A and B are shown apart, each in its own frame.
Chain A
Amino acid sequence: MRATRLLAALGLGFTLFAHADTTLLNVSYDVMRDFYKDYNPAFKKHYDARFKDSITIQQSHGGSSKQALSVISGLEADVVTMNQSTDIDAIAEKGKLLPADWAKRLPDQSAPFSSLQVLIVRKGNPKAIKDWNDLVKPGVQVIVPNPKTSGNGRYTYLAAWGYALKQPGGNEQKAQDFVAGVFRNVPVLDAGGRAATTTFMQRKIGDVLVTFENEAEMIAREFGRGEFEVVYPSISIDADLPVAVVDKVVDKKGTRKAAEEYLKYLWSPEGQEIAAQNYLRPRDKGVAAKYAKQFPAVKLFGVDELGGWQAIQKRHFNDGGVYDQIAASIAKK
């Protein structure tokens, strides 16, 4: 089937081979592949039964911003599932592929589940790391992906920033000094979250890895549970993982109904249950109660408390922003 389509594509030179009405392309970021591996078959079963149809779901994974950039440049994604709303904002703003108020179209600001940043330490926690302020101690090596190229790294940066800001007597200057202290202890800045994990687990570099809660579970599955411990900090950031239908693409391909159903089903009890099984914190109260044991209560703050993604991106992560200043100050010491 695929072979014949490939051959057809060859023969015609330029053919788009995804024009069957019920083929959806889900353009997603790196660490979501495990969730969608479970979710796609479940959705197919639901959709095929309900609409007497046969749906095929194609997946594309990569760095969140890189994926958004591909969609802007013409990658025909029916739905995008990203790790921060700025990436979908960019698709709305630069690509004009969906309206600017896309987040209002689905419940929970279009984020069907969330995660948070946790600390992963070596077995036995030899450096006694309990909270964010342990990351700035001399002699502690912190593994974090590059905030310039990774959403994972940006959430870590903001979690540390928010922690410092919320300490008694905390202010912006203290927060900046604190984050600088964390990044001063970073020996390797990988381009993405998965590369950072490999550095920590495979190359055995660093004392603590900061990453998403659901990634901690993936690490346990792949590297074994005895190798490390998960430490929940006193406060962390609520990482909402937004999804959206790409209007221009679905209207052109005539797949709007299927695409909307695909995203809506994420909020169904079954979708929420699959999320919980992949250690993504569900929105559904019932499912959350059922899996409460695996999600310890952590005090969280949202990105909105720091001014929202657009303002944050501009102030902290764009060229010449606060992160660049921090990086420069570290390099000059």
Chain B
Amino acid sequence: MAASLTVNRSQATTETRWVRYALTGLALAFITLFLIVPLIAVFAEALRQGWGLFLAAFTDPDALSAIRLTLITAAIAVPLNLVFGVAAAWTISRFQFRGRSVLTTLIDLPFAVSPVVAGLIYVLLFGAQGWFGPWLAEHDIKIIFAIPGIVLATVFVTFPFIARELIPLMEAQGSDEEQAALVLGASGWQTFWRVTLPNIKWGLLYGVILANARAMGEFGAVSVVSGHIRGMTNTIPLHVEILYNEYNFVGAFACASLLALLALVTLAVKSFIEWRSEKLAEEDRRHATEE
């Protein structure tokens, strides 16, 4: 991304050295205070009583089942939103139709809805007192306080991530290549698989990674629909809360550090993707000039 821009500027278009140092120092101080110190705090608290207790936190069967449920939830929610994200991005970036901007706004909506409200709406729909509650009870189908409810709440909060990543990317790329493929006789699906997908794959991956991190870390919405049954419907963030409430701070921060680690891996993969796509772009440019 922008950051790796070579900083080779003429005297006229940059600041004096002292201003540069001062600004960089200020920015770093802010980042340290608000990002690095909290991150270190999570790991420091987790390791406060040594590695033994830290690792013990993960051998607890309840912790394992929380990890398993979190993985299952993400494994369902992310692919669902992946398909939606691609379909929505295709619709919005490739066609002009009425209500396009309203549709874009609606896709963003879950992003601004309070997680508490996000959980509440599913209780209103599927709770015993909700719209579909009596029907569901009659047919013995469980949605909230079971895996489907947790998945639904997670799908809701991660709904915009992939679409949001793809729409600007696909708008910027334009549809010239796809039109060319179609003119040359490719079918719609062939065009999609062979032209569109390769073009958006890095953006898509970044969207998936962010959506995945958010899916695994969601607390507020899932807390409302989970039922908190130990070893059954607790995700990692809910398990963290339980351990914290048991005064088991080491265990709580150990599980939290697992999520922080996930965040770091996410960021590392993301950086790698950016680096990769920059390199590819550079190669493309070089090829273009050589030709």
**Across the interface, do B146 and A59 meet the contact criterion of CB distance under 8 Å?**
no
Chain B, residue nearest A2 (CB): B65
Q: How far is the CB of B119 from chain A (nearest CB, A)?
A: 11
Q: How far is the CB of B134 from chain A (nearest CB, A)?
A: 10
**Across the interface, do B228 and A61 meet the contact criterion of CB distance under 8 Å?**
yes
**Across the interface, do B230 and A59 meet the contact criterion of CB distance under 8 Å?**
yes
B249, CB-defined interface residue at 8 Å:
yes
List B contacts of A195 (CB < 8 A).
245
List A contacts of B164 (CB < 8 A).
none
Q: Which of B76, B130, B145 has the most CB of A within 10 A?
A: B145
List B contacts of A219 (CB < 8 A).
247
* Further pairs besides A59-B229, A74-B144, A194-B247: 13, Cβ < 8 Å: A2-B232, A17-B146, A30-B245, A60-B227, A60-B228, A70-B145, A73-B130, A73-B133, A74-B133, A75-B144, A76-B142, A202-B249, A219-B247
Q: Chain B contact residues (Cβ within 8 angstroms of A): what range?
A: 20 to 34
A119, CB-defined interface residue at 8 Å:
no
A-B contact pairs, 7 of them (CB 8 A): A58-B232, A72-B129, A73-B129, A74-B133, A76-B145, A194-B247, A222-B247
List B contacts of A174 (CB < 8 A).
none
The 8 A CB mask of A1-24 against B (1 = contact, 0 = none) is: 011001001100111111000000
A94, CB-defined interface residue at 8 Å:
yes
B231, CB-defined interface residue at 8 Å:
yes
List B contacts of A16 (CB < 8 A).
140, 142, 146
List A contacts of B142 (CB < 8 A).
14-16, 74, 76
**Across the interface, do B145 and A75 meet the contact criterion of CB distance under 8 Å?**
yes
A103, CB-defined interface residue at 8 Å:
no
List B contacts of A30 (CB < 8 A).
245
Given contacts A74-B127, A95-B128, contact A14 B232 (CB under 8 A): no
List A contacts of B231 (CB < 8 A).
2, 58
B42, CB-defined interface residue at 8 Å:
no
Chain A, residue nearest B76 (CB): A10
**Across the interface, do A33 and B148 meet the contact criterion of CB distance under 8 Å?**
no
A310, CB-defined interface residue at 8 Å:
no
Chain B, residue nearest A76 (CB): B145
Chain A, residue nearest B148 (CB): A14
Rounded to whole angstroms, the CA-CA distance of A202 and B140 in the bound complex is 45
List B contacts of A73 (CB < 8 A).
123, 127-130, 133, 144-145
Given contacts A6-B69, A73-B130, A94-B129, contact A198 B145 (CB under 8 A): no
Chain A, residue nearest B128 (CB): A74
List A contacts of B69 (CB < 8 A).
6
